[in-house]
Structure 1
Amino acid sequence: MTQLPRAAYIPFQPEHGYNRAVELAIAFLDRVDARGTIVVVPQKSTLTFCPPLNAYATGRSVLTPRNSTQSGIGYGHPALVYAPGQRELALATKFVRNAPIAVVEDAGFSSSRWADEIGAVNVIEQRIHAVDRSAEHQQLLERIEFAGNNGWGDAYGLRDLRRLLGELQERSLLDKDEVLAYLIVHGKTHHYDALVRVGKEIDQVQAS
């Protein structure tokens, strides 16, 4: 039997809505025998808008950006991530580490680049997401990641970030969504505020 990826992506489909998407996410987590699964949502009140999610979350730990700093959940748990924005997607990826994860996409925020970067199975389209980039392109992204050891908040890190973004721009390779997805999936120490900082730097480079 072909081994499934550890990540699943359920794109938003208006004709099916969120309930069906959550059911598909649960089925994936069951199929990979995920245990101790947590639920990641923008806020706890979100649960009440999706009955299948609310039922699944009963008796499980629920993680939100607001309670994450006080959470005793710990790292390495499988997760069902519901309607995430960039903040929730970064939070979930950080907490899950190498455990299984299923992301139910929000109508207002695409998680497709995250799916590409992590190599998720697209449950709707029955395909595996992947990236296709040159070795040079990959190296530039890795160097951006390396420059961010302190969240690109120190002078040297910020200098290197700007230089590397400029190199991507010169090669017509600068894609904001791709860079942020790469950092969410492969970043070691980055928090949401650091991602916002990088996003603003990319906007400045692209506007120049």
Structure 2
Amino acid sequence: MTIVTYTAAWVPDDDPERSWDEAAEPAAAWLLEQAHVLGGQPLLVTPTQQQWQAGPDVIRRFARTYEATTSRGRGAQFRQRPVLAYVPDYGDMYLAASYARNSALAVVESHTAPLIGWAMEVQAVDLTTGAVTADTRSPEQRQELERIHGYGNNGWTRGFGADRSASILEDLLRQDAIDTDIVVGHMVAHGHDKRSVARLMKIIDNVR
């Protein structure tokens, strides 16, 4: 089992008619409510600093009012706090989860970095429905995902762990209710960084 140390919510990128403003507003509102309850100064995590000036209105306001950071540039003082992650890639998610430990994390998903597996694993509230994200995985499938996580303790570099993971994935990805997004998101929830996830995705490409 993943030891989830933060309360989580997200806005999935599952509606082409939903604007970025419409996606960001409920995530920011939820995060500020959590900050009020839990305490701590909110933090905004974005892929680049460009979103601080050119993103949706709520993201620009958030960047002006609270501290903001990226995984590529300016850092923020490290302390545990509520985090709003806007269209993060997997590196941004690693950073955001590090700050959010023992606090709260709200995410606005981008289709370029699918997070359904993360949302299932951390039981994130889907802010478009108000319900906890449904977990479609069977107990056996979750067990296999945990095995892959364990074999990834060296980031799925070449060797025994990568080979064993490939063997498991070859069977797992043939099953219903499991796809690449669920596998990768599960590993993001377990704290694997961007480089590790990239290696795992190469393994997945080779076995599909």
Return the TM-score normalized by structure 2: 0.82
| Percent identity over paired residues | 30
Change (3 A) 1:110 1:169: closer
Unpaired runs of at least 5, structure 2: 1-5
Residue 10 of structure 2 aligns to a residue in which SS? strand
Kept in 1, the 8 Å contact 2:117–2:181? The answer is yes
Q: Residues of 2 paired with 1:19 and 1:170: CA distance?
A: 37
Alpha-carbon contact 2:94-2:193 (below 8 Å) kept: yes
Match of 1:90 among 94, 104, 126: 94
CA distance in 2, matches of 1:53, 1:177: 26
**C-alpha distance 86-58 of structure 1, shift in aligned 2 (>3 A):** same
- Count of aligned pairs between the two proteins: 198
Instruction: Calculate the aligned-residue CA RMSD, in Å.
Output: 2.5
Alignment equivalent of 1:122, drawn from 120, 123, 126: 126
Indicate the SS of the match to 1:102: strand
Of 83-92 and 22-31, the range deviating more from structure 2:
83-92
Contact in 1 for aligned 2:117/2:183 (Cα 8 Å) = no
Deviates further, 90-99 or 79-88: 90-99
What stretches of structure 1 move > 3 A for 4+ residues in a row? Answer: 11-16, 107-113, 169-174
Q: Among 180, 187, 204, which residue is 1:202 paired with?
A: 204
Structure 2 counterpart of 1:79: 83
Rounded Cα–Cα distance in structure 2 between residues aligned with 1:108 and 1:182: 16
Q: Structure 1, unaligned stretches of length 5 or more?
A: none
Does the aligned pair in 1 maintain the 2:87–2:109 contact within 8 Å? yes
Q: Deviations over 1:130-159 (max 9, x none)?
A: 313222211111111111111122522222
Other structure's SS at 2:61 match = helix
SS of structure 1 residue aligned to 2:147: helix
2 CA distance for matches of 1:175 and 1:136? 15
State the TM-score, normalized to the length of structure 1: 0.82
CA–CA distance in structure 2, aligned partners of residues 181 and 82 of structure 1:
16
